[in-house]
Chain A
Amino acid sequence: MEILKFFWTLFYINLFTIGGGFVMLPLLQREIVDHYHWLTNKEFIDSVAIGQVTPGPLTIMNVFIGYKIFGLWGALGAVICTYLPSIVIVTIVSYYYLQFKTSRIVNSSLKGIRPAVIGLLAAVALTLGKTSLVDMPTAAIAVGSFSIIAFTKLDATFVIIGAGLISMLIN
């Protein structure tokens, strides 16, 4: 019944997280890596990379995680559990969207959530950095990719592919 725990994990994370794929990383990492030990930190990073280099949303990385742990059924269940909460909630919101957008409760809560998410994501970067940055070249790639993505308009997809190629040539 491990697979049901996995589906439930994806379902509630997608049901509760506002702000997109990156915001989900702290929650996913805690459940998938720290709690259930389904993946190592290294494999978790690889799944983020695959979610990033494919077109569409980053959350498609859940399909990779599902396939890696449970095979094809894991992948199929992952895609359903990732997008079903969106279908249900957005369909309901589509009815009431004006009230929703100007809601005092929604907006004031989001004012608290947004900065907290930054702190959570910084903590994840720290954890994953300990796993991935093992020598001078990897540290240089991390600093380089940060600078390129933060300060130029170049797409993150190309930066990740470029980093893979550079690393292939060095090793």
Chain B
Amino acid sequence: MQEAFFRADAKTKEIFLVFLKIGALAFGGVYSILTFFERELVKKRKWLRHDEFVESVVIGQLTPGAPIVNTGIFIGYTLNKLRGALATVVGLVLPSFVMVLIMAYIYIKYKEIALLKAILKGVGAAVVGLITSVVYSMSRNILKDYKSITFAVIAFICLAVFKLNPIVLIITAAIAGFLLYGRSAEWKS
């Protein structure tokens, strides 16, 4: 599998245009974008095989930052080194960057108008529902035994009640995870 990477057979401009298209059309978060990746890069252009695509997704999730951007950078790098990586980031981010700027401008200018206030009131409530649903789906995948449930409950209390710094909490959880799972074979699961 490793040899298949680093083909460097795609032009920087071509990479940029494909990712620009994905960045402009992929509404709806991670799964939507991954579907676009698969269709454009694996099926249509055959820049990657399916197993390589899966590895790219895993790399994207194991590195800090936005997973889909990271997956893009990894694919871009394998296609055309650093230039490919930069082409993917700019392509992926540029369309939403422009859209967010326009929305921010409208938001600041018309914030006091009753219509926008009414819309944002409902949107705010929906965001709370959205975050709760992320908590729910992550819990179903990750909280499988009493150890992981304990981690989650302690983190919740530390932030909700004691207002401790989340970065410190995440680093502590990483160290605790290493101490708890690092020496046994459990870390592979």
Contacts and interface: CB of A to CB of B under 8 A. Distances in A.
Interface of A: 12-22, 25-27, 30, 34, 42, 45-46, 48-61, 63-64, 67-68, 72, 75, 79, 82-83, 85-87, 89-91, 93-94, 97-98, 100-101, 104-129, 131-134, 137-139, 141-150, 155-160, 162-168, 170-171
A1 to B, nearest CB: 21
12 contacts: A16-B64, A16-B170, A46-B120, A72-B101, A93-B59, A98-B2, A108-B180, A111-B148, A119-B157, A120-B166, A137-B125, A138-B122
Is the contact region of chain A dominated by helix, strand, or loop, or is it mixed?
Answer: helix
A101 B59 CA distance: 7
B119 interface: yes
Interface of B: 2, 23-30, 32-33, 55, 58-70, 73-74, 77-78, 82, 85-86, 89, 92-93, 95-97, 99-101, 103-105, 107-108, 114-115, 117-139, 142-143, 148-160, 163, 165-167, 169-178, 180-182, 186-188
Contact of A21 (B25, B64, B66, B153): B66
Contacts of B103: 50, 54, 64
A3 to B, nearest CB: 16
A83 B72 CA distance: 12
B66 A58 contact: yes
Given A75-B101, A86-B63, A164-B122, A52 B130 contact: yes
B97 A49 contact: no
Contacts of B29: 52, 58, 155-157
Is the contact region of chain B dominated by helix, strand, or loop, or is it mixed?
Answer: helix
A111 B59 contact: no
A22 B65 CA distance: 11
A119 B64 contact: no
B127 A17 contact: no
Contacts of B170: 16-17, 113, 116-117, 120
Contact of B130 (A27, A107, A160): A160
B155 A128 contact: no
A167 B177 contact: no
A133 to B, nearest CB: 6
B125 A86 contact: no
B96 A170 contact: no
B98 to A, nearest CB: 9
Contacts of B30: 20
A12 B117 CA distance: 33
Contact of B169 (A52, A68, A116, A148): A116
Given A112-B175, A116-B151, A146 B133 contact: yes
A56 B131 contact: no
A103 to B, nearest CB: 9
Contact of B62 (A58, A63, A110, A124): A110
